[in-house]
Chains A and B, each alone.
Chain A
Amino acid sequence: MQLIRLALKNIRGSGFRSIAIFLAVMSVAGFLLATTLIIAGAQYSLDSGLERLGADILVVPEGAEIKIETALLMGKPVDAWMPRENIQKVANIPGVEAVSPQIYLSSMFDSPCCAVSEMFIVVYDPETDFTIAPWLEKNLGRSLAKGEVIGGNYIFVPEGSQYIRLYGYDTDLVGNLEPTGTGMDQTLFMTLDTAVAMAESSRTTALMTLNIDPDVISTIMVKVAPEVDTHRVALQIREDTDGMVPVESPNLFGTFRNQMNGLLWGFFAITVIVWVVTMILIGILFSTVANERRREMAVLRAVGATRNFIFRSVLTEASLLGLGGAVIGIAFAASSLYIFKDMIAGSLKMPFLFPSIPSFISLFSAGVALAIVSIALSALIPALRLSRQELAIAMRE
């Protein structure tokens, strides 16, 4: 305790120098955490999105892989079609446990501001579905009735209305899925019954008629049997079928992941370099300070301080500055990121979901620990020099 009290007084007493070190640590720690959080948030978002999909393999029309990946990632509707008969072809592949088709539609464009925005509509088959059903079972305890829909986290009923009107047909939003940070948050899920009713209604009530061809689908969700190798099933689908391509879930968003990794790890590398350079500069600053404080330390030794005390005293000062700077910097960066997350994700054009509390606490603690250790390392040599100096000579200076 005495050591900490003395260190705090020394920090207060050295004014400008302490502020400079504090601000340097605060800025670099904050920036490092911000880049780490963005990377972690992007990973978390993609992982949440994949978990939401619920399928081991997505079978998509040949040539539409990128389009569908973008649709799922960014919530931009897409046109992708293949014959319905493909469902049975995929179901016949050995190792396939279940298949379920989905049809992708979009809401009407040019919707008025503040009303329902451009939406990605996913039509699923309740008889065979295994992706939405678990959520429905858990949260509603039943399947969707005709006219009912569930939405991603960003889907909402416009103010002043009880329903979401799509193609002139009123749908009842009965629930929202947990956020993923991907385009699935802007996705609306409905059954084929509802979609057909909507298409019927659009003939008379909508600006644009919606046509749903009963013989075409957009994708096939595939569940692989438990002890079967997903990759082998995917290879077999590719070999045994035409006009469609299997995408294994972990590889979904692969293109995007590569681009994102390049960009984000580039940021991270820059931050690490800045960190190292800052710590070197702080080390030089500590050395300068140590030279100026030689006599002060000699006096402490003369009144009874041991070498070990002097060493610990200098390191304690450095660690306290590191701790304070890191905590403030990281807290500031994290809260800024949290408050401005929509703007950041929008301008970086990437999915982002703020990491879970336990992850965040780990990152926070790791950041603070790194700051303390780094700054203590910066102060190590000056601390050693001060503790081992020739006292009589120091006092003569």
Chain B
Amino acid sequence: MLTFKNVTKSFRLDEENTITPVRNVSLEIEKGEFIVIIGRSGTGKTTLLNLAAGLVRPTSGQVTVGNSDLAEMTDKQISSLRSQKIGFVFQFPSLLPPLNVKDNVSLPAMFANGNGSKDPGKRAAQLLDTLGLASKMDVYPKQLSAGEQKRVIIARALINQPQLILADEPTSDLDNRTENEVMGILRDINSKGVTFLIVTHSLDLIAFATRAFEMENGNLKSITSAQSR
């Protein structure tokens, strides 16, 4: 499903300073896996997700989604891949302020060229209902709590029934109970064959993973092997 092959990513801050948040990472994720990567802030977890989504290109190495090498795809192809096959849960509040909750959730369907959800409005309503936000469909992001915003972002990631979900700190603004509820929903979706790659600093999420890794100084190391569900 998703393969990192000797991937390194460096960012040039200025003429003298360069940072390398991802160093020579190799990882192969099979379809249907639920991968959790933990690590402290600044260890390169977000950069790894951005590489997986094609939001940045690797300095060296190869990232493949399905059978497609992201480096060889055009902007249009990658955009199409992102809208139809990948769902992204951002760490920061990423809802668009001028759109209400329903429009925010339906946004990826707009770019799917008819290959996404056939009735995005209906699907958005279903997802929001599942996540306990049925009464908030016409509300605007500034009227939501941080936890509610996070759930809306998750709903948005699921609108086009993607094959791969990339989630950056999906439960960071949630209380324990809600965290468990949301993770339960994600595992439920995972059981239907959707692949998950989650990065987080919360050790509690390891319990949900089929495999878990730790990211430190840009290097990835395994901390558990595949777990039976």
| Residues of A participating in the B interface, judged by any CB pair closer than 8 Å | 2, 6, 9-10, 12-14, 295-296, 298-309, 390-393, 395
Contacts and interface: CB of A to CB of B under 8 A. Distances in A.
A395 B84 CA distance: 21
Interface of B: 11, 46-47, 50, 53, 55-56, 75-76, 79-80, 82-84, 88, 90, 92, 94, 96-99, 103, 107-108, 110-112, 156
Nearest to A9: B98
B98 A302 contact: no
Given A300-B107, A301-B82, A392-B55, 14 more contacts: A9-B98, A295-B94, A296-B96, A299-B90, A304-B80, A304-B82, A305-B111, A306-B79, A391-B56, A392-B11, A392-B47, A395-B55, A395-B90, A395-B92
B169 to A, nearest CB: 13
Given A13-B97, A296-B96, A392-B55, A309 B103 contact: no
29 contacts: A9-B103, A10-B98, A13-B97, A295-B94, A299-B90, A299-B94, A300-B107, A301-B55, A301-B79, A301-B82, A302-B53, A302-B55, A302-B88, A303-B83, A303-B111, A303-B156, A304-B79, A304-B82, A304-B108, A304-B110, A305-B79, A306-B75, A306-B111, A309-B79, A391-B55, A392-B47, A392-B55, A393-B11, A395-B90
B50 A392 contact: yes
Nearest to B55: A391
B82 to A, nearest CB: 5
A9 B50 contact: no
Contacts of A299: 90, 94, 96
Contacts of B50: 391-392, 395
A9 B11 CA distance: 35
Contact of B82 (A9, A10, A14, A302): A302
Contacts of A305: 79, 83, 111
A304 B55 contact: no
Contacts of B156: 303
Given A9-B99, A13-B97, A392-B55, A304 B90 contact: no
Given A302-B82, A304-B79, A392 B56 contact: yes
A391 B97 CA distance: 19
A249 B229 CA distance: 99
- Name, among A14, A295, A304, A395, the residue most crowded by chain B CB atoms within 10 Å (CB to CB): A304
B202 to A, nearest CB: 21
A302 B168 CA distance: 13
Contacts of A390: 56
Closest 5 CB pairs of A and B: A13-B98, A304-B83, A304-B111, A306-B79, A303-B108
Contacts of B110: 2, 6, 304
Contacts of B96: 296, 299-300
Nearest to A11: B98
B190 to A, nearest CB: 21
A395 B46 CA distance: 10
A12 B98 contact: yes
Contacts of A307: 75
A391 B112 CA distance: 20
B45 to A, nearest CB: 13
Nearest to A396: B46
Contacts of B83: 303-305
Nearest to A390: B56
Nearest to B21: A392
- Name, among B11, B47, B98, B108, the residue most crowded by chain A CB atoms within 10 Å (CB to CB): B98
A10 B94 CA distance: 15
B108 A306 contact: no
Contacts of A301: 55, 79, 82
A390 B11 CA distance: 11
Contacts of B82: 301-304
A71 to B, nearest CB: 63
A12 to B, nearest CB: 6
Contacts of B112: 304
Nearest to B116: A304
A392 to B, nearest CB: 5
A14 B98 contact: yes
Contacts of A308: 76
Nearest to B96: A296
A2 B114 CA distance: 13
Nearest to A309: B111
B93 to A, nearest CB: 9
A303 B107 contact: yes
B98 A304 contact: no
B92 A295 contact: yes
Nearest to B79: A306
- Name, among A295, A298, A392, the residue most crowded by chain B CB atoms within 10 Å (CB to CB): A392
